[in-house]
Amino acid sequence: MRLTDLTVRNFRNIASLDIELPENGVVIIGANGQGKTNLLEAIYYLVLFRSFRGAKDRELVRFGTEGFFVGGSAHVRVTAGYEVAGQRKKVTIDREPARRLGAAVGRIAAVSFSPEDRAIVAGSPAGRRRYLNVLLSLSEPKYLEELAAMRQALKQRNAALRMGNGDAARAFDSPLAAAAETVWSMRIAWVERWSDRFKSICSALGEPQEAGMRYRRHAAGAEDEGSDLQQLLAKTIDRDLRRGTTTVGPHRDDLRLSLGAHSLRTYGSAGQQRTAAIALRLIEAKTLAEATGEVPIGLYDDVFVELDDTRQANLLGLIRDTLSGQAIVAAPRDSEVPPELFERPRWVMSGGRLEQ
Ligand code: ATP
Ligand code: MG
């Protein structure tokens, strides 16, 4: 997958940008706060139509302006615009308005690497569920629909629970369970498919201990193994009524990551957590490549910083094998970009402007 051109208007500190992108990518150098991450965020907006930093759309609008626009072409032309006034988001695919965002996400395939990815490993289960949700939404056509159906049923069930109406809540058990079982099975199938690869990539990056990845169903005790969600919901209705929320289901689950016998979240060092986060991004790239038949674009924000020489060299090797396509690499100074990536043109970002 290659992005050939990019147009940005009033996105964060980028007022106006029109560029053609080299086939193998580009290295963007710039001091802190100049707009390097903003540019990567704008590109990734064309993938998911949301900020990869979890920012709200209106926060992406350049201060003092009414809305932003991003457009780019790969083998498909994708544009996205947002207006503060109507809080409206408009997406087009090959110049046709996209009626459902779910069908438009992932038409441009990219994987973003950022130092903040360590939070996926070190943070709460919500971040790991989000990792799975994004990844599966981009690679499995049905996933986003099932997830949306699940959230809708969950919202209604929780509203009834908050009003203390158990019968009304239980009316949503069946639609909730139907969507949730699909979400579960797709997540579990993905984890089973990729856990060996997670282990081998951590090892290839230079981690001596054995890394593990498994899916953990929340509040499913040993006696609940094999019960379906409908049974679990019936069983937990009293607890759910007391707490005013649904306490079992995919929205409470976790992706457990470990080194040896220990949780990476609880016991991993900063470097170990970062290594695992990079491994997650690399298997994301592999998953997208399998789903789309094309190597996704690699967006690298400060990715080599903090890594020792060995891990840096190992990572470069893995990127060369896994993500051999277009690379857009951002770094605060030349010395942080390994020479192997310097074959690419080097542009400078300053005050939201790119000097080529
Ligand atoms: P670093 O090397 O520190 O990561 P960076 O080049 O990646 O720096 P960015 O995060 O891309 O920096 O840009 C940060 C700048 O963008 C800040 O100066 C911030 O004030 C500005 N900025 C953020 N949001 C907006 C916005 N909505 N409108 C205008 N400017 C914004
Ligand atoms: Mg940055």
pLDDT along the chain (356 residues), means of 10: 97 98 94 97 97 95 98 97 94 95 92 95 97 96 94 97 96 96 96 98 96 86 71 93 95 96 96 95 96 95 85 90 90 84 87 95
Q: What is the C-alpha to C-alpha distance for residues 303 and 350, in angstroms, rounded to an integer?
A: 20
What spacing in Å lies between the alpha carbon of 311 and ligand 1's midpoint? 29
The vertex-340 CA angle with 337 and 344, nearest 5°, equals 80
pLDDT at 245: 96
What spacing in Å lies between the alpha carbon of 157 and ligand 2's midpoint? 40
Q: What is the C-alpha to C-alpha distance for residues 198 and 256, in angstroms, rounded to an integer?
A: 12
Which ligand neighbours the alpha carbon of 58 most closely? 1
Topology of 1-109+294-356 in CATH? Rossmann fold (3.40.50)
pLDDT at 222: 56
Which ligand neighbours the alpha carbon of 63 most closely? 1
Ligand 1 pocket mutation pick from 10, 12, 52 by most atoms within 8 angstroms of CB: 12
Which ligand neighbours the alpha carbon of 43 most closely? 1
Q: Where exactly are the structural domains of the chain?
A: 1-109+294-356
For every residue of 143-174, DSSP letters joined together read HHHHHHHHHHHHHHHHHHHHTT-HHHHHTTHH
Q: Are 255 and 129 in contact (CB under 8 A)?
A: yes
pLDDT at 154: 97
Q: Where are the alpha helices (DSSP H) in 15-76?
A: 36-48, 57-60
What spacing in Å lies between the alpha carbon of 52 and ligand 2's midpoint? 12
Atom nearest to 39 CA in ligand 1:
11
Q: Are 355 and 53 in contact (CB under 8 A)?
A: no
pLDDT at 192: 97
End-to-end CA distance of the chain: 22
Q: Which pair of structure tokens corresponds to residue 43?
A: 């590109």
What spacing in Å lies between the alpha carbon of 93 and ligand 1's midpoint? 28
pLDDT at 225: 63
pLDDT at 228: 86
- Confidence (pTM): 0.94
